[in-house]
Amino acid sequence: MSFPVSAITLDLDDTLWPFAPIGARIERVLDDWLRRHCPRTAERFPIPAMRALREQVFAERTDLAHDFSQLRRLSLARAMELSGDDPLHADTAFEVFYAERNRVEFYDDAEAALARLAARVPVAAVSNGNADLAVIGIGHHFAFSLGAREHGAAKPEPSIFHAACERLGHAPGQVLHVGDHADLDVVGAHRAGLRSCWLNRPGGDGGIARWPHADLRPDLEFPTLTALADWLDATQPALARPAPLAATPPPESCPA
Q: Break the chain into its structural domains and give their ranges.
A: 7-17+106-235, 20-101
pLDDT digits (tens, 9 = 90+) for 24-74: 999 999 999 999 999 999 999 999 999 999 999 999 999 999 999 999 999
Q: What is the mean pLDDT of the chain?
A: 92
Q: 10 Å Cβ neighbour count for 29? A: 16
Which residues have CB under 8 Å from 4's CB, separation 6+? 174, 236
Check pLDDT > 70 for residue 245: no
Gap between the Cα atoms of 196 and 199, Å rounded: 10
Gap between the Cα atoms of 41 and 37, Å rounded: 9
CB 4 within 8 A of CB 236: yes
Which residues have CB under 8 Å from 2's CB, separation 6+? 235, 236
Which residues have CB under 8 Å from 161's CB, separation 6+? 9, 126, 155, 172, 177, 188, 189, 192, 193, 194
What is the Rg, in whole angstroms, of the alpha carbon atoms belonging to the chain? 20
Q: Transcribe 53-116 into DSSP letters.
A: HHHHHHHH-GGGTT-HHHHHHHHHHHHHHHHTS-TTHHHHHHHHHHHHHT-----TTHHHHHHH
pLDDT digits (tens, 9 = 90+) for 184-243: 999 999 999 999 999 999 987 778 899 999 999 999 999 999 999 999 999 876 544 444
Q: What angle do CA 132, 179, 107 make, to 5 degrees?
A: 65
pLDDT recorded at residue 114: 98
Q: What is the pTM of this model?
A: 0.88
Q: 10 Å Cβ neighbour count for 227? A: 16
Backbone angles phi, psi at 144, to 5 degrees: -170, 170
**Residue 197 pairs with which residues in a beta bridge?**
178, 220
Tell me if the domain spanning 20-101 has CATH number 3.20.20.150.
Answer: no
Query: Computed from CA positions of residues 88, 92, 93, 94, in that sequence, does the dihedral angle turn out positive or negative?
Result: positive
CATH topology of domain 7-17+106-235: Rossmann fold (3.40.50)
- Matching fold, domains 7-17+106-235 and 20-101: no
Which residues have CB under 8 Å from 136's CB, separation 6+? 102, 104
